[in-house]
Amino acid sequence: MFLGGLAIGGILLIQAYWLYSNWQLRNNEFDEKVTVALRNVAEKMAKHSNSELPKEGLIKKLASNTYVVNYNNFIDPHILEDFLLREMAEISLDTVFEYALYDCFSEELVHGDCCTLDKEHHDLYKTKLVEFEGFTYYFIVRFPNRNSFLLNEIWIFVFLSFLSLVAVLAFLFAVKTIYQQKKLSELQKDFVNNMTHEFKTPLSSIRIASKVLENSPEIQENDRLLKYARIVNDQSSRLNSQVENILEVVRSEKKFVLQKEPIDLVQLLNETIKLEENRFLDKFVKVRTDIRVERFSVYGDRYHLSNLMSNIIENAVKYAKPKDYSVSEPLLVHVTFFRANGNMELRFSDEGIGIDEKHQKLIFNKFYRVPTGNVHDVKGFGLGLYYVKNICELHGWTIKLESQKDIGTDIILEMPLELKS
């Protein structure tokens, strides 16, 4: 921001200097043109009346837009106006001017007329001109629209300066936005750190309690309770690790460090599906599989691949269509694993609420959740599919999404055959 501000400040200074220089250049050019025109007028009038002009001090500048000419002889106002109009047209000075003559008999300034090449505005600029006491015979010429005429000459530079000002305002707004985002990012990091701390203590307590239950003689004698105790223990361990890893993604932009090893993906898939079915016993979830290979080995991280599959199945359950499921009509998730187009394709299909097409490109972004208005019936942080995409990319896989509103969603993972061991 400092370097950007320095650069824009330099550009503004250069722009201001450029604008000032052009103004001065046009101002001096205007003075030179008017001086030459008035000198020509005086010389032509002197030649017309066979008189001589003063050797020095012929023209004096009374103000930025007012000039006095020391003609030093009788002045015919009609001849003066004619010569003035001709000379102004000669130098292309297309702006309004007014003139006045000094009458030495009445000792007052007699206003001549307001002259312009544009006859429609002939009577708009008549004003009282100031007398000049240094000369005897003289006439005064004033340009009431001098500043607007000069601005019109350098309008492109004024426009560029305006654009520079807009750029500065945009930069300041961007700096303000970046500062606000930085504060929000710091708040997010604090929230994540606090949430991680708050999660670890109860999860550790749950794991200890589940271990005690699992090893209790009473539980060991009851197969049903033992099964549930093991589910609690397994899921608490998995949740603890998942909290640590997923929240690490939020805290830092660093990629996961995978612990890769040879894995039979078919076996891991079956184990994960069984675990997820047990996890959602109360929701009557049934995962139907169509695995068309007996074995497919990959070199990957067992823990993260298991989490990847669990996340996808969990999403299918979370975003199922609202209806009453039972043992006879369970919530169905279809998992297909087969070879297609030189790749292995793992497809997770559900019959849920689906995703609108406008949200599909954003669904893998961090923290993104499909807007549901004021309805918050599905909880989450918008990290599940972001995590899934990261794990796929780290394994060299491709992830795709196909979805239709109110029909269902397919998550497709494509694995190149050459990655298997």
Residues 63-105 pLDDT 10s: 888 888 887 777 777 788 888 888 888 887 778 888 877 665 5
Q: Are residues 211 and 121 located together in one domain of the fold? A: no
Residue 381 lies in a domain: yes
CA distances from 367 to 243, 303, 316, 386, 389 (A): 15, 23, 18, 8, 13
Tell whether pTM > 0.75: no
pLDDT at 206: 85
pLDDT beneath 70: ranges in the chain: 102-136, 192-193, 196-197, 242, 244-256, 324, 372-381, 418-421
pLDDT at 256: 66
Q: Are residues 380 and 306 located together in one domain of the fold? A: yes
Interval 184-205: pLDDT, tens: 877 777 776 677 667 777 887 8
pLDDT at 88: 84
pLDDT at 347: 94
Q: Are residues 50 and 188 located together in one domain of the fold? A: no
pLDDT at 108: 54
Q: What is the dihedral of CA 38, 44, 47, 51, to 10 degrees?
A: -20
Q: Is 33 helix (H, G, I), strand (E, B) or coil?
A: helix
pLDDT at 262: 92
Q: Are residues 331 and 411 located together in one domain of the fold? A: yes
pLDDT at 309: 93
Instruction: Answer whether 250's CB lies under 8 Å from 365's CB.
Output: no
pLDDT at 264: 93
pLDDT at 126: 46
Quick one: which of 108, 102, 100, 107 has its CA closest to 84? 100
Examine the fold and report which residue of 136, 153, 170 is the final residue of a domain before the chain moves on: 153
Q: Are residues 66 and 202 located together in one domain of the fold? A: no
Residue 240 lies in a domain: no
d(C-alpha 67, C-alpha 29), whole Å: 15
Q: Are residues 192 and 334 located together in one domain of the fold? A: no
Q: Are residues 211 and 304 located together in one domain of the fold? A: no
CA distances from 260 to 131, 231, 267 (A): 98, 26, 16
pLDDT at 348: 94
